Structure 1
Amino acid sequence: MELFEDRSVRPMLLTERHEPIESDEWLNELKLDGIRCVAYLRPGETDLRNKRNLRLLPSFPELAGLHEAVAGTCILDGELIIADTNGKPDFEALQARSMMTGTVRIRLKSAQTPANFVAFDILYRDGEDLTNRPLIDRKAILRETAFDRGRLAVSRTIAGNAKALFDQTTEQGLEGIVQKKKDSPYRMGKRSRDWVKVKNLVDEDFLACGYIAKGEQITSLVLGSMDAPLRYMGHVTLGVSRNVACRFPTTPSCPFDMLPSGNEGAVWYKNPPICIITYMERTSAGGMRQPRFNGFRED
């Protein structure tokens, strides 16, 4: 079945790196903190799907006119974002919108804080499957097909100077950069080393107050503040192993003045060690986005 009518594109995925690649053979662009989105566009029709192929227009009706910003029939890969008052992507606002119910509420929010679609690739145009074409060709076709108009924008790319671009994202508090090989085809549903992401992350120290065993393998550390009085700071699971969590002496006494809800099954450490947690950013409620355990401090 034709790619456009089939509506089953599975986005190509990124591999994570800690340092940018300095090479003119790679294209660099900003990593936008949003929802991955595949846009099926043709005259009179806009159909937006997320990575699980679920329709997005019911949650983001303000994007129903994206087809007016392209020439002909096409499939675009991109990111759906909501910008804050400083023009930076606001993932928390976007996530709240994606979970919102009620047509009236959604319509009101879509007018107050509208979303935008930023296109960074084109997979199909007017009957032609472009996925086997090199990225550099697809980028040229994208610029000929999609235009900065209304709620659609085309991602800008630069060749080389990856470190300088990454440093700028660090200074401006942005998520990071994406790097893609110029000659890379579009491998649907595959995670490829031809596409990489380099993200800005924050390291912060916490007290590991105890751990919670979840099933046979999954273990979470219970985190507390470094300053007094001790405050509950949530859990971290990613990067935690059962062997690492069980290495410290324990006590039946909870270190918090009141047992935090959801920690009834915790095993508490007698002398809470300091641990390093890496995360993207703080949420408005004070939580951490994508926290990962990065080891205990031995110094």
Structure 2
Amino acid sequence: MFISPMLLETAAAPFSDSRYIYEPKIDGHRLIYSQESANVKLYTRHNNECTRQYPEIANAAFTQDIVLDGEIACVDPLTGVIEFESVMSRFQARRADKVRQLTQTLPITYVIFDVLRYKGEDLSNRPLMERKEIMAGLALPNAHFGVIPYVEGAGEALFAQMQARAMEGVVAKRKDSVYEIGRRSAQWQKIINWTYADVYLSGYKKAEFGWLASVPTDSGRMRTAGVIEFGVSPTHKKAFYGVVKPLITGEDRDFVYVEPRIRARVKIRNWTRAGMLRSPVFTEFIV
């Protein structure tokens, strides 16, 4: 059984409130674990089945039928850091031999943060803390399952810990919140631990909006680091396109290229292992 997950709104800043619990935000991908008559199916938040990608949990079963909401995480064995790129390597693997190999080199953990059905009962209309109590009593099938920890009220302190550990951020949830299936709700809010980077704008997309971002290499040359598609207001677009024409150096099917003279600051989730900006969002021009 697939249940469309409850989604989070974005908080402007860390906050502390006794009406909320606060969980570490896991840098993985959302996963619905569904067990009916001992048959386990795994689904992404968009209802794509991914059971075969994660045999560590797909081949395990609880003593009772259950539907869980959580996150797939991969921990780098050398650094102990949760790595999104490793999760994507697992998710994109399809061949059985490749999946078997990755279970050894990139084992996953399913970090559970909610229980939606249990013993045939729909729990979505119960308050969050009741659902948490049921979760705390579950006997987990194997070591690839874990339950997210949380603190009550101390959101700013937890966010400071996430910053110190370079983790993705914090999720704030109202203690009395019901599970709003398939909806984005202010009852659950995410506070992202953004990293900031300064880049040069070296081109723009032809078909739809997007600015090409580049960064200097050690040798002083420029290399492409990603495309900025979010956070740009109409005023910023007007300013950019108003001055960029004399800077054009060439074009191809997808991009118009310009001299990298305009600088911008972006916020990102992190740098990828390949040196690319992950999810860049424009914040301002740098003069």
TM-score, reference length from structure 1: 0.87
Q: Secondary structure at the match of 2:185?
A: strand
Specify the alignment match of 1:125 in structure 2.
Answer: 118
Q: Are residues 1:233 and 2:225 paired?
A: yes
Q: Are residues 1:73 and 2:65 paired?
A: yes
Q: Are residues 1:59 and 2:48 paired?
A: no
Identity value in percent? 27
Structure 1 28/148 Cα, relative in aligned 2: closer, same or farther at 3 Å?
farther
Following superposition, the deviation at residue 263 of structure 1 comes to: 7.0
Q: Is the 8 A contact 1:210 1:272 kept in 2?
A: no
Q: Is the 8 A contact 1:219 1:245 kept in 2?
A: no
Q: Is the 8 A contact 1:148 1:154 kept in 2?
A: no
Q: Could you list the runs of 5+ residues in structure 2 that have no partner in the other structure?
A: none
Specify the alignment match of 1:209 in structure 2.
Answer: 202
Specify the alignment match of 2:9 in structure 1.
Answer: 15
TM-score, reference length from structure 2: 0.90
1:44-95 residue CA offsets vs partner (Å, 9 max, x unmatched): 432211112122221112222332xx44121111111111123221110110
Q: Is the 8 A contact 2:27 2:82 kept in 1?
A: yes
The 2-side partners of 1:17 and 1:247 are apart by 33
Specify the alignment match of 1:155 in structure 2.
Answer: 148
Q: Secondary structure at the match of 2:126?
A: coil
Following superposition, the deviation at residue 247 of structure 1 comes to: 2.5
What letter matches 1:10 in structure 2? S
1:178-208 residue CA offsets vs partner (Å, 9 max, x unmatched): 1100000000010000000111111111112
* Equivalent residue runs for 1:92-111 within 5 Å: 92-111=85-104
Q: Is the 8 A contact 2:113 2:148 kept in 1?
A: yes
The 1-side partners of 2:110 and 2:88 are apart by 15
Q: Is the 8 A contact 2:64 2:118 kept in 1?
A: yes
The structure 1 residue matched to 2:238, chosen from 237, 243, 259, is 243
The structure 1 residue matched to 2:74, chosen from 82, 85, 97, is 82
Following superposition, the deviation at residue 229 of structure 1 comes to: 2.8
Q: Are residues 1:38 and 2:32 paired?
A: yes
Q: Secondary structure at the match of 1:138?
A: helix
**Runs of 4+ in structure 1 over 4 Å off:** none
Q: Are residues 1:288 and 2:269 paired?
A: no
The 2-side partners of 1:162 and 1:75 are apart by 28
What letter matches 1:18 in structure 2? A
Following superposition, the deviation at residue 159 of structure 1 comes to: 0.2
Q: Are residues 1:224 and 2:214 paired?
A: yes
Q: Secondary structure at the match of 1:137?
A: helix
What letter matches 1:225 in structure 2? V
Following superposition, the deviation at residue 98 of structure 1 comes to: 1.1
Following superposition, the deviation at residue 38 of structure 1 comes to: 0.7
Following superposition, the deviation at residue 239 of structure 1 comes to: 2.2
Deviates more, 1:147-156 or 1:50-59: 147-156
What letter matches 2:90 in structure 1? R
